[in-house]
Amino acid sequence: MQSAHNTEQLLIAGLHPHLLEKPVFWFEKRKKEILRARLVTPFWQRATAVAQVGLRIKLSEFLRSIHDLGYIRVQTIAHPGEYAQQGGEVYIYPINEHTSWRIDFLGNTIEAIEQTRPKETKTELSPLQKKFLEQNRLGLLKSGDYIVHADHGIGIFRGLEEKNGNLYISIEYAPAPASPGRGSPSEAGRPDKPDMLFVPKEFAKKITPYAGFRTPRIHRLGAPLWNSIKKKTKEDIIKFAKELLELYAKHQIGERPPYTPHIDLEQSLAASFAHEETPDQAQAVRDVLCDMETPRPLDRIILADVGFGKTEVAVRAAFRAVLNNRQTALLCPTTILADQHFETFKERFSAFPVSMERLSRLERPAAQKEIIKNIARGTTDIVIGTHRILSNDVTFARLGLLIIDEEQRFGVKQKEHIRALKETIDVLSLSATPIPRTLHFALSGLRAISIITTPPKDRVTPKTFVLPFGKQVIKNALETELERGGQVYFLCNRIGKMPAMREYIQKIMPRARINTIHGRMSESQLISAMHKFREKKSDILLATTIIENGLDISNANTLIVEDSSLIGLAQAHQLRGRIGRSSVQSYAFFLYPPRKLKEKARRRLDALFETQYMGAGQDIAFRDMEIRGAGNILGRDQSGRVNQIGMNLYCQMLAESIEDLKNTKLR
């Protein structure tokens, strides 16, 4: 009789894109069909292997067959897609299984196939639980994650419990210290049981996920420490809030002539938009245009994930500025992004008499001088460029609107220049990078924010795979994309390694047309390579993270990252945003060296895999802050307090303090 942990036959699915996207239960339901198909269908013969008790096959032959399926040899198996060998035993974690298996060889015969660890079970949530999780933003929490209760401090989330039809959040706190003589002698040396808190769903607002950059101290229920920490933090936050209020006060008290709407022309531009506006996008446009009609200068942030339509909001704002005889400057952190925006704006304004210039190192010195003269004369309506716009030799005749894309990516001196400009003009900031979001939310009383969370219609979420680096994985991914007439981004973040990687790819795909771009190339070479890729004159773009911003190519729907352990979580999210910009299913392969993966890199990759859904930016922000820390957002003084109470509660308290200070001034 067959044991629950043994099997006579093990199906091993290969690391092919069409198979990687299938959940385990899909294979379970179709196992018999797949086994039958292997007898007659070349695809299933190539894409799968079968280990069967009694099968005569050389061990070396079997190892070669699973290697050809894309499986990577490791010392210790941890992920699907890996295998290991110890003498006559082969350990493998098939992508179509919940667990890993051991295949025992006796000579050239498979003698036994046995599970190496118990099958993982996933608890299905009730409809009540699902609804609760959606409403309370706790959906990413897993049992064991740190959590903050506003009244009781930091504890450990232990899941949800349903009692008598009511739902409770279960939080574990540190055990109370043992009293002298407590417990029997037989209990000596045993740790005390932790205290548990069960929070009814109606008090869920008091709970936030802990986001900080070190392992927090678990508090005790009823102990005075938490209240002491909150009191000291509150004092520091009030000081910080006062500084922030002073910082923004100059902009708040300034006035300028309101912008006049030109309804017919603005509606004509809106009607020429090639895509259907999402409700969030339409609201963001209304927010910006309404701000421009008031005498107070515009200072609004548009927050949206990559590809959610921030640029169109900027286009509408720039058009209103032009119609009111005021110049617009669009500031970009990279030449590639500036070029992309220039092409987009040029296309959007093709039917209107709008004068536009691009100012970056792409233009020759003589051309730059002429562009700068036109800006100073006021004959240029919109200038799009890099930090070159901030140079001392650039003066505007009638600058009215400054649009900043990814402000956090500019240096300190550039930010000082931007701040000086901000005191007198309208400012619209665009942000797709999720790291600063939480702080922006906290400052909602100071800077107006519009959030676009709805993806464009027919947008399909990219399928994300986190796998060991392997030739077969890369070959399958490239073949699948190129066979359907698509293009591929292949990211290799070490310039010195790129020639060898290009040769490696060319051997796998001899007929593929490969172009290379990296930061040491001249600006003209970069743009030339990008235009070739955009015009489908190359199939594979081998690049560094220079492609992180500014690419919108709907035909490129596969991303392969050669070593994703070297890139940050927010950066990986941005890179994933380069694909999936159409209704075609896209694939992102984040590969890693299995023997060298560090703990932080593993956590980043796990977070990336778990957040492969539309609008994941804010959730990624929390995970990124947990891994990287909040110090780079708030500075050293405030980040210490963040560690003690968590980023979420910190920002909540900051927002409350700002509101109290504003109300005090109004009395």
Burial class (CB in 10 A: 0-12, 13-18, 19+), 373: exposed
Spatial separation of the C-alpha atoms in residues 260 and 523, rounded to whole Å: 39
Q: Are residues 328 and 435 in the same domain?
A: yes
Mark whether 94 and 152 lie in a shared domain.
Answer: no
Dist CA 554 CA 599 (whole Å) = 35
Q: Residue 267 maps to which CATH number?
A: 3.40.50.300
CB 328 within 8 A of CB 356: no
Instruction: Report the distance separating Cα 641 and Cα 650, nearest Å.
Output: 8
Assigned token pair, 399: 């600058």
Beta-bridge mates of residue 101: 92, 115
> Do residues 476 and 605 share a domain?
yes
- CA distances for 249 relative to 245, 424, 509, angstroms: 6, 13, 59
**Both 438 and 474 in a single domain?**
no
- Helix and strand numbers, DSSP H then E, in the chain: 22, 25
The closest alpha carbon to 306, from 430, 168, 408, belongs to 430
- My answer on whether 467 and 405 are in the same domain is no
What was the pLDDT predicted at 6?
Answer: 84
Choose from 120-134, 317-331, 440-454, 549-563 the range with maximum mean pLDDT. Answer: 317-331
Residue 632 lies in a domain: no
Between 104-113, 164-173, 501-510, 565-574, the lowest mean confidence (pLDDT) is in 565-574
Q: Are residues 585 and 478 in the same domain?
A: yes
The two tokens of residue 255 are 């006035």
Give the orientation angle of helix 335-348 with respect to helix 523-534, to 10 degrees.
50
Cα-based distances in Å from 585 to 73, 561, 663: 30, 18, 50
Residue with tokens 């910082």: 247
Query: Has residue 62 been placed in a domain?
Result: yes
Task: Give the full edge-to-edge strand order of the sheet including 166-173.
Answer: 195-200, 166-173, 153-163, 146-149, 207-209
Domain boundary among 452, 472, 492: 452
One domain, residues 359 and 281:
yes
Query: What pLDDT, on the 0 to 100 scale, is given for residue 214?
Result: 58
Provide the whole-model pTM: 0.61
Q: Is residue 96 part of a domain?
A: yes
Give percent of the chain above pLDDT 70: 76
Does 271 lie in the same domain as 355? Answer: yes
pLDDT at 564: 83
pLDDT at 463 over 60: yes
- Taking only the tens place, the pLDDT of each residue in 323-363 is 999 999 999 888 888 888 998 999 999 999 999 999 987 78
Residue 314 placed within a domain = yes
Domain limits for position 399: 253-452
**Residue owning tokens 């295998």:** 83
Please, which pLDDT band fits residue 76 given cuts at 50, 70 and 90?
confident
Q: Give the burial string for 393-406 (b: 16+ CB within 10 Å, else e).
A: ebebeebbbbbbbb
- Where is pLDDT greater, at 433 or 336? 336
Q: What is the DSSP letter of 583?
A: S
Distance, in Å, from the CA atom of 83 to the CA atom of 102, rounded to the nearest integer, reads 10
Tell me the sheet residues that pair with 531.
none
Question: In whole angstroms, what is the distance from residue 580 CA to residue 587 CA?
Answer: 8
Are 203 and 260 in a shared domain?
no
Same domain for 378 and 513?
Answer: no
- The tally of domains found in the chain comes to 4
Within this chain, do residues 518 and 575 fall inside the same structural domain, yes or no? yes
Each residue of 49-68: pLDDT tens digit? 999 998 999 998 999 899 88
Higher pLDDT, 140 or 159: 159
Q: Are residues 304 and 345 in the same domain?
A: yes
| 430 bridge partner residues | 302, 405
Does the pLDDT of residue 251 top 70, yes or no?
no
- Is there a domain that residue 398 lies in? yes
